[in-house]
């Protein structure tokens, strides 16, 4: 199951990597430059006096320092053809805004890229990032298979999440790691006797915090799910399994920040408004943030079709309905929604004088995934119902890929059939869509087949629980 699911996720991620214009992901140039530098052992870089404190100057292959996406990212009708990569040789000195971020993700992506290429191709870095996320998501689907939650996992991924899996950036691995933590947390409803499973929840969450310390909000969504399953009273061992990995991650992140002299400040985005003004602006941005988490991004790099976004919203509504009707946690989604919508506002109020209203919808994707996946805590609906859910989710993902190809090839005011493009992906776009659709069908089949063995797994788990008790 793990190998099959990993392969399916890798194929899907590769079709996205091929379909997105040069540096089309959020802050992707900064992430690629950081990965290239980390692969060469430059984990910290050098101060860049002309830039804000978060920037660092690094040495990278010259080809990576070209093809700026600024020429098209602000207008969805402009194709990515204007972001032209030069064929320069040698290395150049450039500044990256990801310069003080923890280096672990970038080192892995950079080293894997260097093993199979010369390190001068953006697509090569994307392929390495896709493989890393596919390995985690494949394991996640295999773990959710144990209690019949695989179909919910596939349906939980928002259109924005599928897009981010195809580009270089810490958002993608954050999504994968939090999905794994949520799957393990939901699994505890089916196997409460396994004390060790607490570590299976907190370890991926701790790794997520090591990669991106600002992802502390993810602890909240996982905490909302795992809290009802925690045994009482707490023993020292249970407390160590729950808090220990997160404490180690927090200490390591703090040590890294001190070593790199991290300064949480950005004069480009900081504002001097009153607290009341900042509160009003942040609350007013909540619908925009929610929209980004489902089917858009901060700039104009990506929009999911309205139908694809509606499919995901309908899936969330169905999941919430199942929880209300078939579980004792009737108000769980109300608490989840309050936390998902208000926590970003609280964070923005704390830092608005230093870095302004910086919350992006993609930071809330983990909450969105958790809102759907929580429904896996109860017995799944009939196979026919889940089949319809998966078919709708798969069609929405393929439609979103087509919409993205259209945006980069002809612009969103261009041909619906992608005729007369000014930019072409490395492979034929219709071939990419066909391969993507086939991989989604394979992934859906894997997820649906997980229900066949659930009864046997549950019986075995109950038997083991009886022995333990």
Backbone angles phi, psi at 206, to 5 degrees: -65, -40
pLDDT at 460: 43
pLDDT at 195: 53
Given a cut of 90, whether residue 401 has pLDDT beyond it is yes
User: Which residues share a beta bridge with 59?
Assistant: 93
pLDDT at 193: 52
**What is the percent of the chain with per-residue pLDDT over 70, rounded to a whole number?**
91
Given a cut of 70, whether residue 173 has pLDDT beyond it is yes
Q: pTM, whole model, 2 decimals?
A: 0.90
pLDDT at 13: 97
Average pLDDT for the chain? 86
Helices (H), 260-382: 275-284, 286-295, 306-326, 332-355, 365-373
pLDDT at 468: 30
Specify the range with the lowest mean pLDDT, choosing from 175-189, 304-318, 333-347. 333-347
Residue 176: pLDDT band by 50, 70, 90 thresholds? Answer: very high
Rounded distance between C-alpha atoms, residue 46 and residue 194, angstroms: 47
Greatest mean pLDDT range, 259-268, 408-417, 453-462 = 408-417
pLDDT at 268: 62
Tell me the Cα Rg of the chain. 22
Rounded distance between C-alpha atoms, residue 296 and residue 304, angstroms: 6
Residue 275 neighbours by CB distance under 10 Å: 10
Render 164-184 in DSSP notation, one character per residue.
HTTSSSHHHHHHHHHHHHHHH
Rounded distance between C-alpha atoms, residue 263 and residue 201, angstroms: 31
Tokens of 456: 């046997």
Average pLDDT over residues 67-92: 88
Burial 414-434 (b: 16+ CB within 10 A, else e): beeebeebebebeeebeebbe
Residue 172: pLDDT band by 50, 70, 90 thresholds? Answer: very high
**What is the percent of the chain with per-residue pLDDT over 90, rounded to a whole number?**
52
Given a cut of 60, whether residue 429 has pLDDT beyond it is yes
Considering only residues 272 and 222, tell me which one the structure prediction assigns the higher pLDDT: 222
Rounded distance between C-alpha atoms, residue 181 and residue 153, angstroms: 12
pLDDT at 215: 82
pLDDT at 1: 92
Sheet with 56-61, edge to edge strand ranges: 46-47, 56-61, 91-96
Contact assessment for residue 362 and residue 292, using Cβ atoms and an 8 Å cutoff: yes
pLDDT at 183: 94
Span 240-269, pLDDT tens digits: 878 888 889 889 988 888 887 776 666 666
Contact assessment for residue 113 and residue 39, using Cβ atoms and an 8 Å cutoff: yes
Residues found in the chain: 469
Contact assessment for residue 176 and residue 153, using Cβ atoms and an 8 Å cutoff: no
Rounded distance between C-alpha atoms, residue 208 and residue 249, angstroms: 9
Given a cut of 90, whether residue 130 has pLDDT beyond it is yes
**Long-range contacts: 278-282, Cβ < 8 Å, 24+?**
278/348, 278/349, 278/352, 278/357, 279/345, 279/349, 281/357, 282/344, 282/345, 282/348, 282/349, 282/352, 282/357, 282/359
Given a cut of 80, whether residue 5 has pLDDT beyond it is yes
Given a cut of 50, whether residue 455 has pLDDT beyond it is no
Considering only residues 246 and 270, tell me which one the structure prediction assigns the higher pLDDT: 246
Span 188-241, pLDDT tens digits: 888 765 555 788 999 999 999 999 887 878 888 899 998 888 877 777 777 787
Span 54-69, pLDDT tens digits: 788 998 988 898 888 9
Span 359-396, pLDDT tens digits: 788 888 988 999 999 999 998 888 899 999 999 999 99
pLDDT at 457: 43
């Amino acid at each position: 199951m793990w190998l099959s699911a990993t392969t399916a996720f890798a194929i899907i991620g590769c079709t996205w990597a091929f379909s997105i214009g040069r540096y089309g992901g959020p802050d992707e140039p900064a992430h690629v430059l950081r990965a290239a530098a980390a692969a060469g052992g430059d984990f910290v870089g050098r101060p860049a006096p002309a830039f804000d404190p978060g920037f660092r100057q690094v040495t990278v292959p010259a080809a990576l320092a070209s093809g700026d996406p600024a020429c098209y990212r602000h207008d969805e009708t402009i194709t990515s053809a204007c972001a032209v990569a030069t064929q320069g040789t040698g290395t150049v000195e450039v500044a990256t805004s990801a310069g003080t971020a923890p280096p672990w993700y970038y080192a892995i992506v950079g080293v894997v890229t260097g093993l199979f290429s010369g390190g001068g191709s953006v697509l090569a870095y994307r392929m390495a990032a896709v493989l890393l996320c596919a390995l985690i998501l494949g394991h996640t689907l295999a773990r959710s298979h144990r209690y019949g939650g695989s179909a919910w996992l596939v349906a939980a991924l928002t259109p924005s999440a599928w897009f981010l899996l195809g580009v270089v950036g810490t958002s993608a691995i954050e999504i994968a790691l939090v999905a794994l933590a949520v799957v393990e947390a939901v699994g505890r409803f089916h196997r409460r006797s396994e004390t060790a499973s607490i570590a299976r929840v907190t370890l991926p969450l701790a790794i997520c915090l090591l990669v991106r310390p600002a992802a502390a909000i993810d602890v909240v969504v996982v905490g909302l799910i795992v809290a009802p399953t925690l045994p009482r009273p707490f023993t020292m061992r249970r407390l160590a399994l729950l808090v220990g990995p997160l404490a180690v991650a927090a200490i390591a992140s703090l040590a890294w920040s001190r070593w790199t002299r991290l300064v949480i400040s950005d004069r480009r985005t900081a504002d001097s408004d009153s607290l009341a003004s900042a509160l009003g602006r942040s609350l007013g941005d909540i619908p925009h943030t929610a929209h980004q988490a489902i089917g858009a991004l901060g700039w104009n790099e990506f929009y999911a079709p309205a139908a694809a976004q509606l499919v995901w919203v309908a899936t969330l509504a169905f999941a919430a309905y199942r929880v209300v009707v078939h579980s004792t946690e009737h108000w769980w989604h109300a608490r989840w929604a309050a936390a998902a919508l208000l926590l970003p506002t609280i964070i923005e109020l704390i830092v608005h004088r230093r870095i302004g209203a910086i919350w992006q919808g993609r930071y809330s994707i983990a909450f969105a995934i958790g809102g759907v996946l929580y429904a896996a805590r109860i017995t799944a609906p009939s196979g026919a119902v889940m089949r319809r859910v998966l078919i709708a989710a798969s069609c929405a993902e393929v439609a979103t890929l087509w919409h993205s190809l259209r945006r980069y090839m002809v612009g969103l005011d261009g041909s619906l059939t992608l005729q007369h493009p000014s930019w072409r992906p490395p492979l034929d776009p219709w071939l990419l869509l066909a391969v993507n659709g086939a991989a989604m069908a394979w992934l859906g089949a894997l997820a649906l087949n997980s229900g066949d063995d659930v009864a046997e797994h549950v019986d075995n788990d109950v038997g083991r629980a009886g022995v333990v008790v």
